[in-house]
Amino acid sequence: AGIRLVHHDLVWLRDLVQRAALPARLPVGPVRRTPPLSRPAVHFDAAWGSEIGRVEGYRLAAEVLARHMMQHRGDRDILIYAFANNCRHHFELRLQLLLDVLQRYKAEAATPLRTHNLGKLWEETRRRLETVDGIETGAALQDTDRVISQLYSVDPDGQNFRYFRPTNGSPALDGEGPIDLLGFHEGLSAAATFLSAALEVVYINDERKRELEAESGR
């Protein structure tokens, strides 16, 4: 039957063309190639060699989108999906990494929790964080819990922000009302900062623990 464009779709497309967001001619050629020196190059996991590139990359992408949405009101209702999904995926990857480091620090058997379920990831991570020296277990932890719980309630398994119809066949986010973009962004940023700091604390504690073990074994 094809795709039927309604009036607001046509207006949006025309606006994109007028702002030169759509190229007049699509580039032809191999995507995976070494660019000439005059063109920018990117590298997958260059100098990272770990999950950090992806963890921070999704957070940075969300920040870029947030700034764009603040400045361009007409793009907000279409970029909100990409913004929210980048935020959510950042939290998913951050919690997976943090849980792995916590298990090592606590000398637990390495049992990576590879799931898209934010609720499970946060539950396993939080109960370990609460016993780590140097971790703020007051307002910052409670605020982070609230933010992640809200994300989980809207998109529990990483489908609702990405797909109009997830695997259950029903329209995603049906009935969700408007959100406070600035408040949403500020809450997510604060929670992301808390988890980043928590990861640093666990890294430092783990390193100190290993140094003490090495000294006692001499």
Q: What is the pLDDT of residues 27-75, one digit of tens each?
A: 656 666 666 767 777 777 665 677 888 999 999 999 999 999 999 999 9
For residue 66, what pLDDT is reported? 96
Question: For residues 137 and 200, which has the higher predicted lDDT (pLDDT)?
Answer: 200
Mean of per-residue pLDDT scores for the chain: 85
Domain boundaries defined on the chain = 50-216
* Residue 141 near residue 126, CB atoms below 8 Å: yes
Nearest one of 95, 200, 75, 69 to 152, comparing CA atoms:
95
Across the range 179-208, mean pLDDT stands at 93
For residue 126, what pLDDT is reported? 96
Nearest one of 126, 118, 100, 116 to 203, comparing CA atoms:
100
Nearest one of 192, 204, 203 to 55, comparing CA atoms:
192
pTM, entire model: 0.80
Model confidence at 217, pLDDT cuts 50, 70, 90, reads: confident
- Return d(Cα 155, Cα 170) in angstroms, integer: 13
* Residue 165 near residue 172, CB atoms below 8 Å: yes
Assess whether pLDDT exceeds 70 at residue 3: no
Question: For residues 7 and 75, which has the higher predicted lDDT (pLDDT)?
Answer: 75
